[in-house]
Structure 1
């Protein structure tokens, strides 16, 4: 470990400037500014659970890059590995599409974070962290980012948690499935949504079949997230168990709920909790997050999660 560096958890990925609207993007004229992105959402959530979490990324040498670093630091994230680099700070706009779901438009091509590569992993505490959280969105940003994700999975000595988090506007099913195949043998846990991730990457929608397929790829365990249906948790040859979802007290926006689940789960694993307890905590945090707008609109604290868990 690099001298003086002590972290429980590392997240590799791109934080984003978020412009959110309550209307469809084709019609919206007013947007709310915040900060989000899967890596930032998970990092902030993990910090709120008490984990010492480092976000490894690059942001632009611009006002938004500075604001993102400040935003993360104010929420307890270790920002020493949020490097400033050429290229703009990534952003996205999100609005309600005509069916009432959330639709995203990304502005991250050529962003500072898209320049990340294996060297960013080597300059970070990935090799020594208890848990390393990696995602398919990061791998989809650029070829060098995909190399960074693969390198981090191999370099980690702690537990690797991988979330494919498939986004059709960023990558193809074939490319995303290739990363999953390469990372799974190094992953203590693959968190995969059904049918969103599983249908595109595995051609499967039945939870037990999805879990078996990921275990066959080499994952140590699998958490198949099923929205209101909870989570199917499979470990090795043990009989899979269903972890129920917690009803949300209020539903404002689903953006970032999966990231809250992953960040909380990883934080609880980093502090030595069992996988089942970590998954239950993740479902509680995801439920709480639904009450806020945007990916970081409502971040569940450790006390709040434990209150939901009862």
Structure 2
């Protein structure tokens, strides 16, 4: 099936991906650049998923809260340029926008988060309205959406209730983060009730005690119709219809892996909303995740639909990426 391009006008009438959770401003530091270098980036897992979906040509809507501050304004401006529907983003003058530091070092990166008491943690069930799901094909939530605060978890759960009442698919990225002290039972219940579950091998081992695809399938039960299990540079598998489909990742020169899993998730969900079969959607998604590693930062590093198509057609993945803030 033909994949949508990144022109927002071309996606009119297609199902909307609705994401509920947090956005974060990124401050990037690198060991291989001068000591006065500071990079500006844009993150938050569900926000990243929405940006990647929009780059694939999918209409994407984000519900979150931002502070009335410079980080909030930078995020909102970036999301608008990325063609997200930002109508449901509330500005809270009494709380700051969350931030994180992405310190890229030889052999990996380290995150430092500053989100305690952030505006996004004040999301609540009162923020939910059925109109949020107008035109929606899927509601996307993550384990971080459930973990940043009790009220945010209630917001995500209420959104899922409304989605099911409206016949909208629920998708869930497990994104288990120990530092947030997640309620594993709550997250597992959400995953088992979701239609599509995306998790890394690390997530699977932490939450399910195994990363073997057959055992992951058994542990999540019969609720999820599709399970995407990612494994970094090894690629990913999708379990659906009693079958397991594997996709290897293309080799790239890795600069920063931050946000690669979100890129994969966003491209996969965009493909599925466009009617692409799970194995083909996963192929696009794995390419998207790999290409995102060529530049530092999260959403700013995401490739376009055209870049992904070129690599799928056999082009080298290490051609000059279309890096920048525009989608």
Relative to the length of structure 1, the TM-score reads 0.88
Matched, 1:91 2:95: no
The match for 1:66 is 73
SS at match of 1:110: coil
Matched, 1:232 2:221: no
**Aligned-pair CA distance for 1:127:** 6.2
- Taking the aligned partners of 2:52 and 2:307, their CA distance within structure 1 comes to 12
The match for 1:283 is 286
Matched, 1:308 2:311: yes
1:228 and 1:212, CA in 2 relative to 1: closer, same or farther beyond 3 A?
A: farther
1:178 and 1:243, CA in 2 relative to 1: closer, same or farther beyond 3 A?
A: same
SS at match of 1:197: helix
| Structure 1: gaps (5+ residues) | none
- Taking the aligned partners of 1:227 and 1:147, their CA distance within structure 2 comes to 31
SS at match of 1:130: strand
The match for 1:119 is 126
CA contact under 8 A between 1:150 and 1:182: conserved in structure 2? no
Within 5 Å, give how 1:170-209 maps onto structure 2. 170-172=180-182, 175=183, 177-194=184-201, 196-209=202-215
The match for 2:178 is 168
1:243 equivalent among 208, 233, 247? 247
- Taking the aligned partners of 2:42 and 2:306, their CA distance within structure 1 comes to 24
**Aligned-pair CA distance for 1:145:** 0.9
| Structure 2: gaps (5+ residues) | 1-12, 314-327
The match for 1:222 is 227
1:129 equivalent among 126, 130, 136? 136
Q: Deviations for 1:156-193, whole angstroms, at most 9, x for unmatched residues? A: 12222210111121124xx1x22333223432211110
The match for 1:274 is 277
CA contact under 8 A between 1:154 and 1:186: conserved in structure 2? no
**Aligned-pair CA distance for 1:7:** 5.7
Aligned residue pairs total: 295
Matched, 1:22 2:27: no
- Taking the aligned partners of 1:23 and 1:40, their CA distance within structure 2 comes to 27
**Aligned-pair CA distance for 1:78:** 1.0
- Taking the aligned partners of 2:134 and 2:178, their CA distance within structure 1 comes to 31
**Aligned-pair CA distance for 1:29:** 6.3
- Taking the aligned partners of 2:156 and 2:222, their CA distance within structure 1 comes to 17
1:274 and 1:158, CA in 2 relative to 1: closer, same or farther beyond 3 A?
A: farther
Coordinate RMSD, CA, aligned: 2.1
**Worse-matched range after superposition: 203-212 or 77-86:** 203-212
CA contact under 8 A between 1:40 and 1:55: conserved in structure 2? yes
Matched, 1:141 2:152: no
CA contact under 8 A between 1:47 and 1:75: conserved in structure 2? yes
Q: Which runs of 4+ in 1 moved over 6 A?
A: none
CA contact under 8 A between 1:222 and 1:233: conserved in structure 2? yes
**Aligned-pair CA distance for 1:11:** 1.0
**Aligned-pair CA distance for 1:6:** 8.2
1:84 and 1:123, CA in 2 relative to 1: closer, same or farther beyond 3 A?
A: farther
Matched, 1:8 2:16: yes
